[in-house]
Amino acid sequence: MDLPVMPPVKPMLAKSVSAIPPGMQYEAKWDGFRAIVHRDGDEVVIGSRTGKPLTRYFPELVTALRENLPPRCVIDGEIVVAHGGRLDFDRLSERIHPADSRVRMLAEQTPSSLVAFDILALDDRSLLSTVQSERRTLLETALSGASAPVHLAPATTDPVVAQEWFERYEGAGLDGVVAKPLDLPYRPDVRAMYKIKHARTADCVVAGYRFHKSGPVVGSLLLGLYDSEGVLQHVGVCAAFPMKRRAELVEELEPLRIDPAEHPWAAWADAAAHEGSRLPGAPSRWSGKKDLSWVAIGPERVCEVAYDHMEGDRFRHTTQFRRWRPDRTPAGCTYEQLEEVVRYDLSEVLPAG
């Protein structure tokens, strides 16, 4: 492979803002694996956000990229998997598996797509110093003949349209809007763009915690919600605390510590138990040898957390602690309080072909 921009490349990133800024290019924020694709003839390399190779996990996409991308180019985009008319991050995550036979089976059962939204090189020309507006024009031309599963990400310079996307597309599994200054060159690994994500709050039961990697202070609080049958389900964590507060939380929660065998999540270490319930410490390809043990506390305290969106019956990302809610009872922390997002068919965002 001999391209003007060679792998690995870390993608340009975005910083969070509370509202859609004016005078920029706007795109939907895709919920998948960020990927930098290098193609030089038959050679295709797919790199992750951290620069690690993803190529072997998406063999069906490699074939599609050879058929739909220019012979020599570097493309920035998002690998996604669709299911039931919306993006499905859980099914996408299943693709990261050590067994090649399973990867190929899933490639047939849950094929992936690439949503392209930037171009870093074309033929013998590096486009890293080229401004965003010109790169977008070059990308549109480069993908003018592309078809599914390679898609050109919709883009607009109209903030009214961007606001409409922000409100409508969440039902298809997208999680916000990205804004890019029109005169912005491509800046790898720099938060030079802006992202506007949905923000909601929920009252959750605090049912345990994990220690921080630095020592015996709280690393993250384990959150739970009661389902319709009264079972406490593990739905996620909140983890962003100052170090002083992490130490205080250990003392604050000490009176609530209980025997793990008496906890609603007592079976967390049994892999079979995860099939019927959401428990902390679920087996994961991402955790590797990471210590998933946790401290059990009685499900007596309630906290309010901010979250962006759900992935099935759990929080998609780490939540943000807002405050303790002594006025709320744990039994009232149910899924019913969560806002139900109106469904929106992904085909309306990315028309087939």
Active site residues per annotation: 29
Place of tokens 């939204």: 117
Residue 11 neighbours by CB distance under 10 Å: 24
User: Can you tell me the distance from the alpha carbon of 197 to that of 90, in angstroms, rounded to the nearest whole number?
Assistant: 20
Q: Is the peptide bond before 154 cis (omega within 30 degrees of 0)?
A: no
Residues in the chain: 353
The amino acid at 242: P
Closest by CA to 240, choosing from 293, 318, 292, is 318
CA–CA distances in Å: residue 172 to residues 90, 177, 342: 14, 13, 9
- Estimate the share of the chain in helix, then strand, then coil, as percent rounded to the nearest 5: 25, 35, 40
Retrieve residue 101's tokens.
Answer: 């036979």
Beta bridge partners of 222: 208, 237
Q: How far is CA 224 from the centre of its chain?
A: 20
288-321 core/surface letters (b: 16 or more CB in 10 A; e: else): eeeeeebbbbbbebbbbbebbbbbeebbbeebeb
